[in-house]
Chains A and B, each alone.
Chain A
């Protein structure tokens, strides 16, 4: 342990380890208060969404507090259309995250490991997909599907979600592959492992956390997507599309409950993966 610290002191110090006082630039407390104010502002609509899932409105509009109830948690699946929209969203998110995970890992691994012709072009396309307006991607897919006579629906939504998720997955995987210590793979090869065995027994387990976070990211992007889905859905309805359609007539409290459940599940997964990766770094 002590030798490690000696080693580390050779590396350039990061701001984290530097004394805080050196950076004093007036109003530390003001910035602290401001940061929390902004966080509160960011979270406010979410808190209201959660609270109004427990509201007991008399009319169609769930906008003023009229009493506490757990009714909507019991009846969360009582609106058939809404439930099937949520199910469709989940199915599309799972399928597109897995597909984008597989395709994106291939690209990310190749870009991180090999130098090959076309890598520059591929990087450029990935950068463009990440920075293009969703609206433009949505419209262009719509024109492609319409002009080639492909019927819009769950399949076209999935195709679109895989498309915009691939670049995110491969960016995450590439970052991990670049930092990979290749001597471990060479050791495996020296011990007589075939390239195939080396990949699956040595390389893949090391990059697995990156693949996993890429898949999670793709899942999150898919389940939340509205704009691209709006153009590629046809008559199919996902959870965000259902909410969009119901806005004018007022959202039922079930939407709040589903939103709350998705929020809670998302946070739970994020916290668990964070704790697990922390435990792993401690082990190592």
Chain B
């Protein structure tokens, strides 16, 4: 009796939550996949035609937005690695007793709604706002100079919103480095730069990898930053998908675009993992 109970226990514990995930995560993905292969509209209903026309349309009509999103995502991610590494490094090795305080400060933005923070930046960067107006008055910038509506503004917003997601995983990886390994390298007369290149950076790679995963995917599929800080010239694929789903109720097209986006992002991640050498990453993580 007791034995049966024991073997059943994990299944009973997992059942409600697992069912929830199945119903509202797995099933919707399947629905979306099937819908992406259907044709029709919301009034006359959809029929399953099983052909790829939606995908062909998605790729031909929105190639520019797709490429732009990937470029923005890539630039954002590279900038984030470069910007986050020194912060994570400093907190991990020089933070001393105040490590958790610094991490807390980096997480402060999360206590304010994502949308509100982005809108706040728009107020700061607007043409006659508190930043540009004084500079224009002082003659440092030409009156026609503007930041909002440009690619720079959108990428700026993406970097701002995703920075903590890059700092934290790199910090965790650096924090785990055994100081004796670094010591050994120094004892063997490695120059500071060599220690960094040959010891610290390789050991931090799993963190960088996790950080890239956590920022590249959401940054490339974001639509809030471009909508708030950009213009029609910075339209990202997320905005197209959102408009197709919510404004046009063109669910097959929105689904096809979503799957196409996911496929592109996944293959990007796989190429990146391959280039980095997943095994090396895993080995480094295991050590």
Task: Give me the interface of A with B, judged by CB distance under 8 Å.
Answer: 12-16, 18, 20, 22-26, 28, 31-32, 34-35, 38-39, 41-46, 48-49, 63-64, 102-104, 106-107, 109-111, 113-114, 116, 118-119, 122, 125-126, 128-129, 131-137, 139-144, 146-147, 159-160, 162-163, 166-167, 170, 195, 220, 223-224, 226-227, 230-231, 239-240, 243-244, 247, 251, 255, 259, 262-263, 266-267, 270, 274
Contacts and interface: CB of A to CB of B under 8 A. Distances in A.
B242 A226 contact: no
A187 B141 CA distance: 74
Interface in B163-191: 163-164, 175, 177-180, 182-183, 186
Given A31-B86, A122-B18, 15 more contacts: A35-B90, A45-B109, A48-B120, A49-B117, A109-B13, A118-B11, A119-B10, A143-B28, A143-B251, A147-B46, A159-B24, A166-B20, A195-B5, A259-B113, A259-B116
A240 B242 contact: no
Interface string B67-107: 00000000000000001001101111110110110101110
A39 B106 contact: yes
27 contacts: A15-B92, A16-B97, A20-B93, A32-B90, A42-B109, A49-B112, A106-B13, A113-B10, A116-B7, A132-B217, A134-B218, A135-B242, A139-B32, A140-B25, A140-B258, A141-B28, A144-B32, A159-B24, A163-B21, A163-B25, A195-B5, A226-B115, A231-B246, A239-B113, A259-B116, A262-B111, A262-B113
A263 B120 CA distance: 14
B143 interface: no
Contact of A38 (B87, B123, B177, B196): B87
B59 interface: no
Interface in B20-53: 20-22, 24-29, 31-32, 35, 42, 46
A125 B20 CA distance: 12
Contact of B179 (A15, A135, A239): A15
Interface stretch (B124-132, B147-155, B270-278): B124-132
B190 to A, nearest CB: 11
A240 B104 contact: no
A102 B18 CA distance: 12
A20 B261 contact: no
Secondary structure dominating the interface of A: helix
A262 B117 CA distance: 13
A15 B93 contact: yes
Secondary structure dominating the interface of B: helix
A81 to B, nearest CB: 16
B17 A22 contact: no
B255 interface: yes
Nearest to B257: A139
B245 interface: yes
Contact of A144 (B31, B113, B223): B31
B238 interface: yes
B29 A133 contact: no
A35 B186 contact: no
A107 B16 CA distance: 9
B17 A107 contact: yes
A157 B184 CA distance: 54
B114 A226 contact: yes
A230 B239 CA distance: 12
Contacts of A13: 178-180
B126 A63 contact: yes
B160 interface: yes
A247 B228 contact: yes
Contacts of A64: 130
Given A15-B93, A224-B114, A45 B14 contact: no
Contacts of B217: 131-133
Contacts of B94: 20, 23, 28, 31-32
